[in-house]
Amino acid sequence: MVLISTDISKAIELLTAGELVAIPTETVYGLAGNIYNEHAIRKIFETKQRPLLNPLIVHVHSVQQLENLVAEFPEKAKLLAEAFWPGPMTLLLKKKAIVPDLITAGKETVAVRIPNHPVALKLLESIPFPLAAPSANPFNGISPTKAEHVAAYFPDSLALVLDGGQCTNGIESTIIGFDEGEAIVFRLGGISLEEIKSVIGEVSIKNKNETAPNAPGMLAKHYAPKTKLFLVEDLEQAVHAHKGKKIALLRFTENTTSIPCEHEVILSSKGDLKEAAANLYLALHNLDDLSVDLILAERLPATGLGKSINDRLERAAKE
């Protein structure tokens, strides 16, 4: 039986013994294990039913701890780290030999980030090893933003979910790699493109699945509810087109036009993209539990975090 608890010492005990613990971060909950313990890392892949080809993100508490793991730290990576860590940004950096190949799926780079969550940071500072942690959901499922989501996913295969409350940012970290020192965004996420550009200037974007076939967060279908989901430009028209079906709506903000439907969730009544991102997965979990025929999601404005949210909704909508 899985225990939901705020007991950090219990988490330290389990992780030190090579067991897994689900941990809170500011983005989503992670399924964490000691990067140097092969048993723990294999268990992460097994528990998630994740193919071994898909590398894991390593979580550290400081740049100092990170320096043990990476062979290169390009200038632009340093600027980004200074600007956004701790925070929802993951950097792909050339790894040192000490990082096990199982973590990186044989790649030369390791994905690393410093999470901005007091419980995660306290835990990382209390143990002598970094934590590998993919999002704590079964492969392709909706990422968990509450301890209860994780417990419902893994009722029997996990001992502890360390409870850190609801995740404040809500969608996964932005993933950035480097080619000859130039930054490439591989996954849109909690740090917007505008924010990145304000620190290092123009960046290229390779956020499409065909450029990263072995990266699940970049797969065409991912982050998906079990209920069929359509991402639409015009909700009213879409509701009309699906007349007779039980429909739930996922709307960005308060709207004067009310549309007849079974259920409706509003991501941010004041139209704030940050708040919408924080509420996205909770809304999808809740809508998925309603047993409606379909979810119609409204496309958000394509600025700031709106782009990251649209990216997740596009993948959730894929056949």
Of the residues 2, 11, 15, 30, which one makes contact with ligand TXA according to CB under 6 A = 30
Name the one range near ligand TXA by CB under 6 A: 2-10, 21-29, 36-44, 295-303.
21-29
Q: Does 92 bind ligand TXA (CB under 6 A)?
A: yes
Exposure pattern of 29-55 as b/e (b: 16+ CB <10 Å)? bbbbbbbbbeebbebbbebbebeeebb
Of the residues 135, 169, 173, 308, which one makes contact with Mg ion according to CB under 5 A = 135
Angle at 318 between CA 314 and CA 319, to 5 degrees: 165
Closest residue to Mg ion, based on beta-carbon distance: 135
Q: Which does 92 bind (CB under 5 to 8 A by kind): Mg ion, ligand TXA, none?
A: ligand TXA
- Sorted by sequence, the CB contacts under 8 Å of residue 155 that are 6+ apart come out as 1, 2
**Rounded least distance, CB 18 to ligand TXA, Å:** 19
Name the one range near ligand TXA by CB under 6 A: 24-32, 147-155, 286-294, 301-309.
24-32
CB 90 within 8 A of CB 115: no
Q: Which does 175 bind (CB under 5 to 8 A by kind): ligand TXA, Mg ion, none?
A: ligand TXA
DSSP H/E element including 161: strand 160-162
Q: Does 162 bind ligand TXA (CB under 6 A)?
A: no
Sheet bearing 263-266, strands edge to edge: 228-232, 294-298, 247-251, 263-266
Q: Which does 28 bind (CB under 5 to 8 A by kind): ligand TXA, Mg ion, none?
A: ligand TXA
Name the one range near ligand TXA by CB under 6 A: 4-12, 211-219, 230-238, 248-256.
211-219
SS3 content of the chain, % helix, strand, coil (to 5): 35, 20, 45
Q: Hey, how many other C-beta atoms are within 10 angstroms of the C-beta on 245?
A: 14
**Cα 178 from Cα 190, distance rounded (Å):** 19
Applying CB under 5 A, the residues found at the interface with Mg ion are 135
Binding site for ligand TXA (CB under 6 A): 25, 27-28, 30, 54-57, 88, 90, 92, 104, 107, 109-111, 115, 133-135, 172-173, 175, 215-218
